[in-house]
């Protein structure tokens, strides 16, 4: 069944008492620049969403993550320890908020996660009892608190998991059951960081809003922008590991597979940083010339690769740091989305952007006798492409 990414007209208003109750100031225009909207940070990891939404003017009133090492890093940077397993938190105990944020666990839906679980005879997707049903915890919170908006993130493969049925359930739950208008888009972070990292973002509004995802630069930075000119020697691969990775790549190449290491220089853009990077660093190996083995990224370089600020604290071991940054969102991507969401919430309900109608007079031919004029709708200030 086809899924529309946008609604072109407001849905019919239902007499839902939850929607008719008194709403916080954010829904009445947020005209006061000093006002802070409240947001919650679910499956917060090490705080990528929090940094982004605080930069957009928000105040975090609740955070949650079950991983104890991520809690250590989060507390070191934000001064508070996230709540643990969201299953143990009563929905009514979560503070009221205007925006819900959540990068719900992606392993049950990622290509790598599904392959690994199948090889181990484990369940994946919604059948993964530990992680796969966490989306429904989000749904419960949305149903109870009815925030003005939400921003969710997951792996690109969420769209195709289980032949599209997983995404269909998520989309229908958010729209048909909970009544939110939902927009979604796969975004590659390479426009703002030197890494190909495709993730799907779902943005939802309780009341219909004409949302558009933010625009990104035409070209992004190269790896040289985040590399340490004098990395510690311990990050250089041993002869044994380097020989193993080369032999492994040769074996799979001969078999017609695409498996292998990713060797890059400062002039390149890296592959996706994964949570398994601590094992051998194979997806992103930095060339050090023909006379020296390549090296891993340092944890600090991984922080930069994910768009974290220079003063971000890394209080855990390298192994845990690699896992945490590999599981994180890219901060500048989320920040741009956050600002777009906040900007649209500041506008009065029912606001529609002014449109300019441009007609292409060259294409008037029609076989049925009618005049057909292809048109484009542009926002004021934008030029028509030639």
Report yes or no: 201 and 207 within 8 Å, Cβ to Cβ.
Answer: no
Report yes or no: 109 and 159 within 8 Å, Cβ to Cβ.
Answer: no
Do 216 and 241 lie in a common domain? no
Report yes or no: 16 and 179 within 8 Å, Cβ to Cβ.
Answer: yes
pLDDT at 34: 52
- Of the candidates 44, 60, 101, 106, the residue annotated as catalytic is 106
Please check whether residue 363 lies inside any domain of the structure.
no
Cα dihedral 193, 197, 202, 208 in deg (nearest 10): 40
Summarize pLDDT for 357-373 with one digit per residue, the tens.
444 444 434 433 444 44
Do 149 and 260 lie in a common domain? no
**Locate tokens 């919170």: which residue?**
141
Do 215 and 239 lie in a common domain? no
Beta-bridged to residue 41, according to DSSP, are: 63, 101
Do 142 and 207 lie in a common domain? yes
pLDDT at 351: 81
Summarize pLDDT for 114-151 with one digit per residue, the tens.
334 334 344 433 443 444 478 889 999 999 999 999 99
Please check whether residue 239 lies inside any domain of the structure.
yes
Domains of the chain: total: 2
Three-state SS string over the chain comes to CCCCCCCCCCCCCCCCHHHHCCCCHHHHCCCCCCCCEEEEEECCCCCHHHHHHHHCCEEEEEEECCCHHHHHHHHHHHCCCCECCHHHCCHHHCCCCCEEEECCCCCCCCHHHHHHHHHCCCCCHHHCCCCCCHHHHHHHHHHHHCCCEEEEEEEHHHCCHHHHHHHHHHHHHHHHHCCCEEEEEEEEHHHCCCECCEEEEEEEECCCCCCCCCCCCCCCCCHHHCCCCCCCHHHECCHHHHHHHHHHHHHHHHCCCCCCCCEECCCCCECCCCCCHHHHCCCCEECCCCCCCCECCCHHHHHHHCCCCCCCCCCCCHHHHHHHHHCCCCHHHHHHHHHHHHHHHHCCCCCCCCCEEEECCCCCCCCCCCCCCCEEEECCCCCCCC
pLDDT at 9: 39
Q: Tokens standing for 118?
A: 């199948």
Pick from 325, 357, 378: which residue ends a domain?
A: 325
Do 24 and 107 lie in a common domain? yes
Mean of the pLDDT values across residues 220-243? 97
Q: Provide the domain limits for residue 251.
A: 223-325
Specify burial of residue 151 (Cβ count, 10 A radius: 0-12, 13-18, 19+): buried
Distance CA 37, CA 345 (A): 10
Do 101 and 212 lie in a common domain? yes
Do 57 and 174 lie in a common domain? yes
**What is the CATH number for 282?**
3.90.120.10
Closest by CA position to 330, among listed 184, 195, 157, 228? 195
Please check whether residue 107 lies inside any domain of the structure.
yes
Examine the residue annotation and report whether 106 is marked as an active-site residue of this protein: yes
pLDDT at 133: 74
Closest by CA position to 125, among listed 154, 86, 83? 154
Do 48 and 182 lie in a common domain? yes
Do 333 and 263 lie in a common domain? no
Do 41 and 30 lie in a common domain? yes
Reported confidence tier of residue 113, pLDDT bands at 50, 70, 90: very low
How far is it between the farthest Cα atoms of the chain? 75
Please check whether residue 88 lies inside any domain of the structure.
yes
Distance CA 150, CA 134 (A): 15
The contacts of residue 269 (CB under 8 Å, 6+ apart) are: 190, 194, 195, 196, 220, 222, 223
Please check whether residue 211 lies inside any domain of the structure.
yes
Please check whether residue 59 lies inside any domain of the structure.
yes
Do 241 and 337 lie in a common domain? no
**What is the CATH number for 115?**
3.40.50.150
Reported confidence tier of residue 28, pLDDT bands at 50, 70, 90: very low
pLDDT at 148: 98
**Locate tokens 């975004």: which residue?**
187
Pairing mode, if any, of strands 198-205 and 285-286?
unpaired
Report yes or no: 179 and 214 within 8 Å, Cβ to Cβ.
Answer: no
Question: The pTM is what?
Answer: 0.79
Summarize pLDDT for 282-323 with one digit per residue, the tens.
999 999 999 999 999 999 999 999 999 999 999 999 999 999
Please check whether residue 83 lies inside any domain of the structure.
yes
Do 105 and 140 lie in a common domain? yes
Query: What is the Cα gyration radius of the chain?
Result: 23
Please check whether residue 1 lies inside any domain of the structure.
no
Cα separation values, 284 from 152, 237, 245, 249, 274, Å = 27, 12, 12, 14, 10
How many residues in total does the chain contain?
Answer: 386
pLDDT at 251: 84
């Amino acid at each position: 069944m086809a899924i529309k990414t946008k609604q072109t007209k407001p849905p019919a208003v239902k007499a839902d008492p939850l929607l008719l109750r008194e709403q916080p100031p954010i829904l009445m225009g947020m005209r006061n620049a000093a006002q802070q909207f409240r947001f919650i940070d679910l499956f917060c990891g090490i705080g990528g969403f929090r940094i982004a939404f605080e930069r957009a003017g928000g105040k975090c009133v609740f955070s949650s993550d079950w991983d104890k090492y991520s809690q250590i890093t989060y507390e070191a940077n934000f001064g508070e320890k996230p709540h643990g397993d969201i299953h143990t938190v009563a929905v009514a105990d979560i503070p009221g908020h205007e925006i819900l944020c959540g990068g719900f666990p992606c392993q049950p839906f990622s290509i790598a996660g599904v392959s690994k679980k199948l090889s181990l005879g484990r369940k994946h997707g919604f059948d993964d009892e530990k992680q796969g049903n966490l989306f429904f915890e989000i749904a419960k919170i949305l149903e109870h608190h009815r925030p003005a908006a939400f921003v969710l993130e997951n792996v690109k493969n969420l769209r195709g998991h289980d032949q599209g049925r997983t995404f269909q359930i998520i989309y229908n739950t958010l729209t048909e059951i909970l009544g939110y208008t939902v927009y979604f888009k796969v975004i590659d972070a390479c426009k703002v960081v030197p890494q190909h990292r495709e993730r799907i973002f779902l943005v939802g509004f309780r009341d219909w809003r004409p949302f558009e995802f933010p625009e990104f630069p035409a070209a992004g930075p190269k790896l040289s922008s985040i590399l340490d000119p004098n990395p510690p020697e311990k990050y250089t691969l041993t002869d044994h590991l380097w020989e193993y990775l080369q032999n492994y790549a040769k074996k799979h190449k001969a078999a017609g597979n695409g498996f292998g290491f990713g060797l890059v220089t400062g002039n390149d853009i890296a592959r996706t940083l994964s949570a398994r990077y601590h094992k051998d660093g194979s997806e992103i190996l930095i060339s050090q010339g023909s006379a020296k083995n390549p090296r891993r990224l340092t944890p600090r370089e991984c922080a930069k690769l994910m768009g974290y600020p220079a003063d971000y604290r890394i209080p855990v071991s390298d192994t845990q740091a690699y896992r945490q940054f590999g599981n994180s969102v890219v901060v500048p991507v989320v920040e741009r989305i956050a600002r777009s969401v906040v900007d649209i919430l500041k506008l009065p309900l029912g606001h529609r952007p002014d449109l300019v109608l441009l007609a292409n007079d060259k294409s008037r031919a029609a076989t049925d006798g009618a005049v057909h004029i292809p048109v484009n709708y542009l926002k004021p200030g934008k030029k028509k492409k030639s």
